[in-house]
Structure 1
């Protein structure tokens, strides 16, 4: 299952609007098929793995990070039907699909065909790998990650607005990897005018993974950019699983004030700016007590001279 989840995780940012699923087929102790959801969402991971395994799927054990779909599409048959036809002996599923078109029906279809089905293996890791899709299914919007490059004292720029570069090369490379695994990047109009950001992926071999670009603005549209007029417009992004907000301060504040941020990436540089531009403005909290318990510290690691800090929004399930 770890292998299946890893395959799906590598496809994050390429599979939307479908989930980034991974699948592995094992026969006689040997992996005979591997698959991940392909760019644009088709073929599904299970279809790719079954095609690779061929006749060796019969009697095998199939591991998939998400319940196989139960609905037909003009782009391909339901994966649960493909599995019934391939006849594995056992299917191990990490998570049930919350999509109402499947939502348990895929599992029941397999059981009805005499296939043993187990659910829950690797569930936590699978949920993290597909957090964007699951957030969209739960809240009707993408999972939103806010990225900030900060000094030790929490500044994003000098008083003049100069911010290039706060973080070092290793941190910037990590940002590009994050971009490669997101469906859309958003900045505010001020950042667009001041920095003319490309927002592309500049890692060797991943240049084609550059995501769609969006602008938060009340002004006119810009060629090559999608427009959001307010943070609430994320609820109309039905084909985006993961949205990365890269700035600036007003845009970050707007998303935090609307409580739309699910994850914060802070790239902390070992510098002190002193007087400079702060990372956030007023986000709607009236007291310190209101600020506690809202965020949980996650991953933390050194990136060259800088430090990555990851924080996850604590929400009721």
Structure 2
């Protein structure tokens, strides 16, 4: 790989920032940012992928750069695509614009879009990959996980007291977390393709599960698919808030369950029971969601559902909001996850901590040795 100029590193950091603007709007496509530098290394144009079916980041940046792109460098967070879908191949757009060098962060793992780097190199463009790869991959973690495993990325979110309780002994739970924490949860909802709860949460809380962002009108916020896992088809009733029409809803029921009373309320997906005979098969649910173009899931269910996802090793990230409150009794955040000894524990690595009002938000991911094998990302050049 050719030596990376400081201007290219700065441009890649900017491209990663731009890519984040697409979160919640581009699925099932990735979020991508691009900065075009002119032949003297000065910023000539910027762009990001704004919505699925719309122009890709490179096209937006090239349009902004105009003739200044000729002989310049395109710095992009993901390898330029090499196929024609709803839009044309970005590799060809870069060639048509006269770009002389392309620097990208992460190689495209999808078989239909990969190969852009090779196409550019074959046409005489200087190509370099791997710049700030880990940072760019982190911003695209949901799409990359879905692309590699053909299932949605799963983020489990919970709010608990400092002693790990999600409700008091009498069942009351509003509000353990602060308004600031709850606002952050709405951001997570707006960035996810789907939000999932189980029958216990549906019965106890009658949740609406929509996303509301301060300062934005409802029409400006992308709403997630609302998924209720209702094995026995007994938790969702006519008039439930999750059926209010503000966002699409999907009800998952057992494949041998009588759900005729739910016809017309919301679309249904029928799933087999889990291997242990309790609850529904989580991998089958994730496959069904992937086939519906869901690439990221926010799991907001109670301890039973969370335990089922952990038991299936289907949790990719955990976000816990810890409130400075003690209860001493009441349900805990995680139910039975099939872990009977410390040696079986799912070990996590904390990747971030932040304050939200009086609460502490802790973000963690499964330790590397608890993850399925993934291709190693190149180190920053």
Which TM bucket (shorter chain)?
over 0.9
Deviation at 1:52, TM superposition (A): 1.9
Match of residue 183 from structure 1: 193
* Residue 148 (structure 2) pairs with residue 148 (structure 1): no
CA distance in 2, matches of 1:288, 1:65: 40
* Residue 24 (structure 2) pairs with residue 13 (structure 1): yes
Selected match of 1:171 from 147, 162, 181: 181
Selected match of 1:278 from 328, 332, 357: 332
Selected match of 1:240 from 294, 297, 306: 294
1:47–1:117 distance in 2 versus 1, CA, 3 Å: same
Deviation at 1:147, TM superposition (A): 0.4
CA distance in 2, matches of 1:241, 1:50: 28
CA distance in 2, matches of 1:241, 1:63: 25
- Name the SS of the counterpart of 1:215 in structure 2: strand
| Corresponding pairs, count | 314
Selected match of 1:82 from 77, 93, 115: 93
CA distance in 2, matches of 1:41, 1:251: 34
Match of residue 265 from structure 2: none
Match of residue 354 from structure 2: 301
* Residue 122 (structure 2) pairs with residue 112 (structure 1): yes
Match of residue 216 from structure 1: 229
Match of residue 53 from structure 1: 65
* Residue 55 (structure 2) pairs with residue 2 (structure 1): no
Preserved contact between residue 188 and residue 247 of structure 1 (Cα < 8 Å): yes
Match of residue 251 from structure 2: 227
* Residue 41 (structure 2) pairs with residue 32 (structure 1): no
TM-score (norm 2): 0.79
- Name the SS of the counterpart of 1:51 in structure 2: helix
Preserved contact between residue 87 and residue 115 of structure 1 (Cα < 8 Å): no
Aligned 1:185-204 pairs, distance under 5 A: 185-203=195-213, 204=215
- Name the SS of the counterpart of 2:203 in structure 1: helix
Deviations 1:14-59 (A, max 9, x none): 1111111111111234322211112225321112212222222111
Selected match of 2:104 from 84, 93, 99: 93
Shifted more, 28-37 versus 115-124: the winner is 28-37
CA distance in 1, matches of 2:348, 2:77: 27
CA distance in 2, matches of 1:100, 1:94: 18
Deviations 1:169-199 (A, max 9, x none): 1111211222222111111122122212222
Shifted more, 115-124 versus 2-11: the winner is 2-11
CA distance in 2, matches of 1:9, 1:227: 30
CA distance in 1, matches of 2:314, 2:53: 25
Preserved contact between residue 63 and residue 93 of structure 1 (Cα < 8 Å): yes
Structure 2: stretches of 5+ with no match in the other structure: 1-11, 237-241, 254-279, 375-381
CA distance in 2, matches of 1:41, 1:12: 15
- Name the SS of the counterpart of 1:277 in structure 2: coil
CA distance in 1, matches of 2:53, 2:135: 21
Q: CA RMSD in A?
A: 1.6
